Structure 1
Amino acid sequence: MKKMYAKISTLAFILSTIFISSQVTTSIVSEAARFNRFMNSVKSAKFGPIPYDEIEGNPFFNKNFLAAKVESATNPIPARYNMFTDSIEMINDGTIYELPKTSAYSKISFIASRENFVYLNHGVEANGYYLLLADGKNRLLKKLKTEFRDAVPALNSFTQATPARFENLPAEYFIQTGENLVKIPRKQNEFYKIFGDNKNEVESFVKKQKLKVNQELDLIRLVQFLNTQ
């Protein structure tokens, strides 16, 4: 009899866990559905709305919806990152929604690729999603951006029309320490200044390890070094 009660209790616990998990996931979708339904087009100043499919280039980090763990949700959610709108999109019953930009859903972890996006709210310029490259007391973040270039009609028979396109911009890198977010300069002579009192220590490590401060893998190594200090 005790074994039977134990099995019933275990089953009840599993079912309640599934129900709660479903509720959390559903609440995210419901919240997104109220405000953030995805518009599959770009408003052109010259030609009106242009569907994504008619625009050259790719605004997505990965066009496919992949299973991702979203903070505050137990169940994985099919999601993708839109670099043009700087938003996490999720799909539910064939409809695409944008994940609400709040601290409650501030980390999105793609399961298969192990890539993590974090949402930061550091003012107008620093507000948005970043790809997390190195974690710890110092975090290395990568900002991805895509811009829309409108179509340009042919001026005459000697020139060709230019179709509308998405254009990927050079990535920007940031170091976050607590609430402090600092953009990494592209020029090496400005690079060491951002480390303040640790300037000499960082410069010594970079030179000893023969790192290039404009290379992503070397920046990861540097931040990992800082996290051991």
Structure 2
Amino acid sequence: MKTTLIATVFFLTGISINGQQISLGEISRNAKFNKTIDEINNGKAVLKYSDIQGNPFYKNGFNNAKVGDTGTILPVRYNLFKDSFEILNDNDIYSVPKDNSFSKFTFLSSNEKFILDKDNDGIAGYFLILTEGHSKLLKKFAVKFIPEIPAPNTMISGTPAKFENLKPVYYLKTEDNLIKISKKADDLINALPTDKKDAVKDFIKTNKIKLTEEMDLIKLTNFLNK
């Protein structure tokens, strides 16, 4: 790793991320940026992303994003396949560590905000915030790599390697919990605090809310924030 990476990215000064002052020395000791390459091991072969069908990134190229709640702006991209944010420094790409110092990225062009949280299995990952408030609707993206299937013979063609977008998963983040939303309303209702259960049940029934529809989930979350 280039010794100048941290200095270049953080302008040789201490910065405040998410309200916490972090000195250059602390970043150098603890950030542990890892250099990454747009390649994937596919059995005996190593494939470049450019040789694989599909797109493993949330947006094409690197886009300016605000880091945390500060004015620090960096060129980043969100790698859905690796579930990691990556920074461009000169011609090198570095993966940002998943820790509290880098727990929020807001793309300037779209104002889309991603936060770092833990899913039901305790695995840290990034989620897109769809609604703000004491209850938040979060959207989790993912991409799966499907290896190449060689042609078994000259009569049957093979299948090239590709990245495939998985169906997004939605979560309701309350002040105390992160609830994975399934198709069943009862699963969501049972996970809510007791004082919310009846009101949410009535709202879902009255407004014919479908938990598989993003706009309906936004309506439901906005109701919880009233």
Q: Structure 2-normalised TM-score?
A: 0.82
On the 8 A contact 1:59/1:82 being kept in 2, the answer is yes
The residue number in structure 2 matching 1:225 is 223
The residue number in structure 2 matching 1:76 is 73
1:23 aligns with 2:13: yes
Distance 1:21 1:206, change over 3 A: farther
Write the distance in 2 (CA, Å) between the matches of 1:167 and 1:31: 37
On the 8 A contact 1:82/1:88 being kept in 2, the answer is yes
1:172 aligns with 2:169: yes
The residue number in structure 2 matching 1:38 is 36
Runs (4 or more) in structure 1 with deviation over 4 Å come to 24-34, 122-125
Q: CA deviation at 1:200?
A: 2.2
Q: CA deviation at 1:73?
A: 5.2
Structure with higher helix content: 1
Distance 1:182 1:33, change over 3 A: closer
The residue number in structure 2 matching 1:118 is 115
Write the distance in 2 (CA, Å) between the matches of 1:92 and 1:177: 36
**Residue 116 of structure 1 aligns to which amino acid in structure 2?**
K
On the 8 A contact 1:32/1:98 being kept in 2, the answer is no
The residue number in structure 1 matching 2:139 is 142
Q: CA deviation at 1:143?
A: 0.9
The residue number in structure 1 matching 2:98 is 101
* Matching residue within 205, 208, 219 for 1:210: 208
Write the distance in 2 (CA, Å) between the matches of 1:165 and 1:125: 28
On the 8 A contact 1:29/1:97 being kept in 2, the answer is no
Q: Tell me, which stretches of 5 or more residues in structure 2 are unaligned?
A: 1-9, 16-22
1:172-224: CA deviation from partner (whole Å, max 9, x where unpaired): 11111124111001234544333352222112112333332211111111111
**Residue 80 of structure 2 aligns to which amino acid in structure 1?**
M
Q: CA deviation at 1:51?
A: 0.3
Write the distance in 1 (CA, Å) between the matches of 2:63 and 2:90: 15
Write the distance in 1 (CA, Å) between the matches of 2:93 and 2:31: 9
1:56-91: CA deviation from partner (whole Å, max 9, x where unpaired): 000111122111000165321111111100001111
Write the distance in 2 (CA, Å) between the matches of 1:94 and 1:83: 21
Name which one, 1 or 2, has greater alpha-carbon Rg.
1
On the 8 A contact 2:182/2:211 being kept in 1, the answer is no
The residue number in structure 1 matching 2:154 is 157
1:182 aligns with 2:179: yes
